Amino acid sequence: MIVLASDHAGFELKEYLKLYFTKHKIEYIDAGALNYDPEDDYPDIIKPATKHVLKDVNNRGIFICGSGVGVNMVANRTKGIRAVLASDTQTAEMARLHNNANVLCLGARMICKRRATNIINTFLSTDFLGGKHQRRIDKF
């Protein structure tokens, strides 16, 4: 299950991704913001969204704000979340391969929709390598 979450700055991209996921039959939940509110605060949305990700080891989060930095910082404060801020497919791939990242953070003001979907597709289709990489994660 994909857990989508964004603040006001990421709201338009999140809504686009909902249509994209529906079209491609990718299961998701919208963890907020449910309405555009220019005064919302990303921690109020992202903190509860991390709980949805942690409900199942197969869940993945996609969290969006203007730069991606804020949602990434908030997400990584939750034990069990390994969030990556990616603006290219290589970063998303390495985060999955070596770090078993379970949350992808995107900056809606930094990348276009096409790049976002390419990054997401890479993130969702890349499996964790395990082995020495698991040993390193265990040291977190």
- For residue 93, what pLDDT is reported? 98
Active site residue 65: yes
Q: Which of 8, 52, 65, 105 is catalytic?
A: 65
| Average pLDDT of span 94-103 | 98
Say how far apart CA 80 and CA 57 lie, in whole Å: 10
DSSP letter string over 88-122? Answer: SHHHHHHHHHHH---EEEEETTTS-HHHHHHHHHH
CATH code, domain with 47:
3.40.1400.10
The predicted-structure confidence for 23-62, as pLDDT tens digits, reads as follows 999 999 999 999 999 999 999 999 999 999 999 999 999 9
Q: Are strands 103-107 and 83-85 parallel, antiparallel or unpaired?
A: parallel
26: its two tokens: 């990718």
What pLDDT sits at residue 58?
96
pLDDT at site 103: 98
Which of these is catalytic: 98, 105, 112, 133?
98
Q: Does the global pTM surpass 0.85? A: yes
* pLDDT for res 37: 97
What integer is the mean pLDDT of 116-125?
98
For residue 75, the enclosing domain spans: 2-138
Helices (H), the chain: 11-23, 42-53, 69-75, 89-99, 113-125, 132-138
Average of per-residue pLDDT values in the chain = 97
19 burial via Cβ count (<10 Å: 0-12, 13-18, 19+) = exposed
Structural domain total, the chain? 1
